[in-house]
Amino acid sequence: MINTTAIYVLWLREMKRFLRARSRVVGTLVMPILFLAFLGLGFNNVKIPGMAKGVDYIRFLVPGIVGMTMLFTSTFAGVSVLWDREFGFLKEIMVAPVSRISIVIGRIVGGVTTSVLQGILIIAISILMGFKIVSIFGFLLSIVFMSLISSGFIGLGLIFASKMKDIHGFNLIMNFVVFPLFFLSGALYPLENLPVWIRYVSYLDPLTYGVDSLRGMLIGVSSFPIVFDFTVLIGFSAVMITLGAYFFEKSESI
C-alpha cells in the first residue's frame, strides 16, 4: 500500500539535501553552462546542415543541453541509494512499516523535482545568452516532458544501483551507459547529419524523443510529432519505474 507520508518525507529529504549542498548545485550546472558558452556562442553563426530554417545554433542547442542535464542528474541519482546503503540509512527505511514502492516513489519524486529545477535554471541562464522561448505555454509543457525524461532515467539508475554495492563501480558503469545515450540523442547536432545506420540506432534511444519534445515545446521545431514523443516517453518512464521498483524491492539493504 502506498504511504503518502513516507513519499513526502523522502521527497523533503531529497530537497533539503539538494538545497543545502550548494557545491552540488554549482557542480551540476557548470558543464551545461560550458557547453552553452563554448558550443552555443562559438557556433552560433555557423550554418549547420539539417537545422530548421530560422533556427540558430544556440536555440537548437539549449533543449539538447536541458535533456543532457536530465539524463546525467537522473541516472546518477541512483548513487544516493548506494550512499544510503553505505551509511545504514537504507537499512533503517527498509525495516520501517512502509511499502518499498512508497520508498521508490518518494525517491523518484524527489529526484524528478531536483532535476527539473536544474533544467529550469539552465533555461533561465540560456535566456541571458540570447535564447528565446516560443511561448509560456510551451515552457510549461516542457516541464512535463522534463519530468518524464527524469523519471525514466531515475528508474534506470535505480535498476543499476539495486544490483550493485560499489559506488565507484556504479559511476564507471553509468558513464558507459549515459554517454552513448547522450551522443545518439541529437542533443548537439541534427540526426539527419548522421550515417543512416547510426540514425536508426539513435531511434532506439529514449533521450532522442526527450530532446525532440523539448525542442518542439521551447523553439517550436521537432523532428517527430509531439504526440509520438510523448507516447514514447510515457512508455519508457512507466517501464523503467516498474523495473526500478521491482529490482529495488528485491535488493538487499546491507
pLDDT in tens, 138-152: 899 999 999 999 999
Percent residues over pLDDT 90 in the chain: 21
Q: What is the pLDDT of residues 202-214, one digit of tens each?
A: 999 999 999 999 9
Predicted confidence at residue 226, as pLDDT, reads 93
The confidence score (pLDDT) of residue 254 equals: 46
pLDDT score of 16: 79
C-alpha cell recorded at residue 197: 545506420
Whether residue 169 has pLDDT greater than 80: no
Give the CA distances from residue 5 to residues 81, 97, 114, 177, in Å, rounded to whole numbers and listed in that order. 20, 12, 19, 34
- Across the range 182-189, mean pLDDT stands at 88
Least confident stretch, 12-21, 33-42, 85-94, 227-236? 85-94
Note whether 71 and 155 are within 8 A (CB).
no
- Contacts by 35-38 with C-beta closer than 8 Å and gap 24+? 35/61, 35/65, 35/68, 36/61, 36/62, 36/65, 36/122, 36/125, 36/126, 36/129, 37/129
Compute the distance between CA of residue 178 and CA of residue 71 in angstroms, rounded to an integer: 7
Helices (H) and strands (E) in the chain, counts: 11, 0
Residue 251 has pLDDT above 70, yes or no: no
- Better pLDDT: 175 or 187: 187
pLDDT of residue 246: 83
| pLDDT score for 150 | 92
Please name which of 5, 159, 177 lies closest in space to residue 82, comparing C-alpha atoms: 159
Q: Tell me the average pLDDT across 165-188.
A: 81
